[in-house]
């Protein structure tokens, strides 16, 4: 074994993983700025909660093997787009699209792929807005575009997805039919809740706008 070669490989691997950490940090900063700024101007923020995770080297290798990708950094970089993952939860369906627009309109964010599982849910009932974006990471000797997966969903969609994920893993992917049906029903209930909450929210906004207009008119009189 050539020690110098091994050391170079180790450094390359470390930088590879670090680039995803930096990209996650950059995206988290962007999202937290939106959350804070929006919340201070309006009465509430469309972003309820944001979290991030980096896929472990083991998870990356497992996915590459499962999908049959060559086990080389370049192939992993090109093919595995969820090494850096960010999940944003919003209160209302309309907010998921609002947050999406605010993110993709930023000049250094490039959308590589968008999957709208809210407009077109998966057969099991899964709903979420998925964006694969690239963001430039500035390192000591290069600028590297790094891919990040952003999942945007409502609190109700998130509640459903966490439980479904647990059940899916518990049964190793072979979930009994009865449970699949129950999960689909639960997804429908979550969807009805989302629609009702959106309706109520719209009414409150209309009330607020009405009373603000009256207050403005009073001020002018």
The least CB distance from residue 143 to ligand 0O2, in Å, is 26
Q: Is 15 helix (H, G, I), strand (E, B) or coil?
A: helix
Residues in binding contact with ligand 0O2, number by CB under 6 A: 9
Residue 10 parent element (H or E): helix 3-41
Answer whether 92's CB lies under 8 Å from 201's CB: yes
- Residue found by looking up tokens 């969807």 in the block: 191
Q: Which is nearer to ligand 0O2, 26 or 82 (CB)?
A: 82
Q: Which of 149, 164, 195, 198 is catalytic?
A: 149
Is 149 known to be catalytic?
Answer: yes
Which residue has tokens 């709208």? 116
103 binds ligand 0O2 (CB under 6 A): no
Single out the residue of 201, 219, 196, 188 nearest to residue 43, CA to CA: 201
Site string for ligand 0O2, 141-180 (x = CB under 6 A): --------------------x--xx---------------
Closer by beta carbon to ligand 0O2, 45 or else 50: 50
Supply 179's token pair. 């449970």
Q: Looking at the annotation, which residues are catalytic?
A: 149
């Amino acid at each position: 074994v050539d020690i110098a070669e091994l050391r170079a490989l180790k450094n390359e691997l470390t930088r590879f993983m670090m680039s995803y950490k930096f990209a996650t940090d950059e995206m988290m900063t962007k999202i937290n700025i939106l959350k804070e700024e929006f919340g201070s101007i309006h009465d509430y923020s469309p972003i309820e909660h944001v979290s991030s995770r980096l896929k472990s080297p083991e998870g990356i290798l497992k996915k590459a093997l499962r999908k049959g990708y060559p086990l080389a950094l370049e192939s992993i970089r090109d093919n595995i787009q969820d090494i850096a993952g960010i999940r944003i939860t919003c209160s209302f369906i309309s907010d998921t699209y609002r947050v999406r627009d605010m993110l993709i309109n930023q000049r250094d964010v490039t959308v590589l792929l968008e999957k709208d599982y809210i407009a077109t849910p998966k057969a099991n009932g899964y709903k979420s807005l998925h964006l694969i974006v690239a963001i430039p990471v500035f390192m000591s000797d290069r600028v590297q575009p790094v891919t990040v997966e952003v999942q945007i969903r409502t609190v109700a969609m998130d509640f459903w997805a966490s439980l479904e994920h647990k059940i899916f893993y518990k049964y190793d992917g072979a979930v009994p039919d009865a449970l699949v049906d129950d999960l689909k029903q639960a997804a429908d209930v979550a969807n009805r809740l989302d629609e009702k909450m959106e309706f109520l929210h719209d009414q409150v906004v209309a009330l607020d706008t009405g009373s603000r207009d009256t207050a403005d008119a009073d001020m002018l009189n």
